Structure 1
Amino acid sequence: MDNSKRTVVVTGFGPFGEHTVNASWVAVQELKKLGLGSEVDLQVYEVPVEYQTVQSLVPSLWKQYHPLLVVHVGVSGMATTVTLEKCGRNHGYKGLDNSSFCPDSQCCIVGGPDCIDSVIDMESVAKRVTASGLGVAVSVSKDAGRYLCDFTYYTSLYLSHGRSAFIHVPPLGKPYSGEDLGRALQAIVQEMLELLDQAQEKINCQQHFH
């Protein structure tokens, strides 16, 4: 691994229910083709829609790559825009996954806080991407839906102290193509990295003066 490069891990989900082709994984594969520029080592993963796999996979991604940022992408049948999720929630997981399982505790991390916010200002990301004239509508949400998407996001936020993001995409063709979604993900993740850099510079400046 080239240590001068920053690593970003982006995940999409595998098929579930009526989503025999999951738009999130299609979008992530399109993003992989586009890349995030020569400075960023982009790693992509397809995540099966299973609570227990998420519980082991997410920590292993953080351990293996020590990424600057992990971005999870999921599909929402109700979404008509590319939606940035502000927070993950710990409780209320009653929906069964692809292996007909749901956690007994109905929560992600027993004893964890109810809700964890991303350190990334999603409103700011949405504004900046919209202003860039990408042609893909971007909105912000506070409810990732209490299924595998929300479960994965909370787990990642918990492990990374908020240095994760979650993006919901609409199903393919409603209205965007896989290529459109890939371009949107590229623009969004680049803005997120930009904001993280600015935050880091602020911290460094503050340390400098004290």
Structure 2
Amino acid sequence: MILLTGFEPFGGDSNNPSWAAVLEAQEILRTEGHGVEALELPCVFGESATVLRDAVARLHPELVVCVGLAGGRDRLSLERVAINCDDARIPDNAGNRPIDEPVVPEGPAAYFSTLPVKAALRALQIAGIRAEVSQTAGTYVCNHVFYALMHELAGTAAPRPRGGFIHVPYDEAQIPEGSAAPGMSTRDMGRGIAVVVRTALETPVDAKLSAGAIH
């Protein structure tokens, strides 16, 4: 079983391309015979993590890929690390705005993704989908969910499910005319998520290739 999650709209937007991209990926993967469940998470600190943990406990997935929006980026971002810090620049959809609070009190400072992010990057490049390995998932609800996911998976018995987080750009269709903001089609986002899922299922040990950052 594969669990994919996206988010509801936030910050005044009428839609969130992460959810549309997850539904696109679900359709692609189901057509290929994979068992996939898609879950839309609330853009709310705490509640989003609870909904995700409940789904993991109920479905017992072998792979969990959470997806969120990073408006302003121009490619899929395979997030490498989640940090134990909530620091909200804007309120969430329930009006919460935590500042310098831990996602999990007494939890470790960070967790690394257990997705094969380097192998997935190479597969995405071969598929012609813009992608990168990202060194930060921010400190908003996306990072909150990413950290909560990895903390939950770290506590499960072997064989431990693999999991991680992908940020997607704006949907090309939602960018206002005349705006210079980059975007990507929902179709390509969904295709890219499906590539990451396939790569994770087929790659027990990640590839060793350069995808770091200078700053």
Instruction: Tell me if both proteins adopt one fold, taking TM over 0.5 as the criterion.
Output: yes
The letter for the 1-side match of 2:124 is: V
Q: Is contact 1:10–1:43 with CA below 8 Å preserved after alignment?
A: yes
Query: Which residue does the alignment assign to 1:171?
Result: 170
Query: Which residue does the alignment assign to 2:191?
Result: 183
Identity %: 28
Pair 1:33–1:121, CA change in 2 (3 A): closer
1:140 aligns with 2:139: no
Task: Please give the alpha-carbon distance, in whole angstroms, between the structure 1 residues aligned to 2:29 and 2:115.
Answer: 21
Number of paired residues? 189
C-alpha displacement of 1:165: 1.1
C-alpha displacement of 1:31: 1.2
Query: Which residue does the alignment assign to 1:130?
Result: 125
1:119 aligns with 2:114: yes
Question: Which blocks of at least 5 consecutive residues in structure 1 are unaligned?
Answer: 1-6, 200-210
Question: Which blocks of at least 5 consecutive residues in structure 2 are unaligned?
Answer: 155-160, 173-181, 206-215
Q: Secondary structure at the match of 2:148?
A: helix
Query: Which residue does the alignment assign to 1:155?
Result: 148
More displaced stretch, 91-100 vs 75-84: 91-100
Task: Please give the alpha-carbon distance, in whole angstroms, between the structure 2 residues aligned to 1:128 and 1:29.
Answer: 21
Q: Is contact 2:2–2:64 with CA below 8 Å preserved after alignment?
A: yes
Deviations 1:115-155 (A, max 9, x none): 10012231221012212xx2211101110011000000000
Pair 1:36–1:187, CA change in 2 (3 A): farther
1:45 aligns with 2:39: yes
Q: Is contact 2:123–2:195 with CA below 8 Å preserved after alignment?
A: no
1:87 aligns with 2:81: yes
More displaced stretch, 36-45 vs 11-20: 36-45
**TM norm structure 1:** 0.83
Query: Which residue does the alignment assign to 1:194?
Result: 202
Q: Is contact 2:120–2:195 with CA below 8 Å preserved after alignment?
A: no
Task: Please give the alpha-carbon distance, in whole angstroms, between the structure 2 residues aligned to 1:11 and 1:82.
Answer: 15
Q: Is contact 1:36–1:190 with CA below 8 Å preserved after alignment?
A: no
1:14 aligns with 2:8: yes
Query: Which residue does the alignment assign to 2:212?
Result: none
The letter for the 1-side match of 2:166 is: I
C-alpha displacement of 1:37: 5.4
1:74 aligns with 2:68: yes
The letter for the 2-side match of 1:8 is: I
The letter for the 2-side match of 1:185 is: I
C-alpha displacement of 1:94: 3.2
The letter for the 2-side match of 1:170 is: P
Task: Please give the alpha-carbon distance, in whole angstroms, between the structure 2 residues aligned to 1:29 and 1:40.
Answer: 14
Could you list the structure 1 runs, at least 4 aligned residues long, displaced by more than 4 angstroms after superposition: 36-39
Q: Which has the higher helix share?
A: 1
Query: Which residue does the alignment assign to 1:98?
Result: 93
C-alpha displacement of 1:44: 0.0
More displaced stretch, 50-59 vs 63-72: 50-59
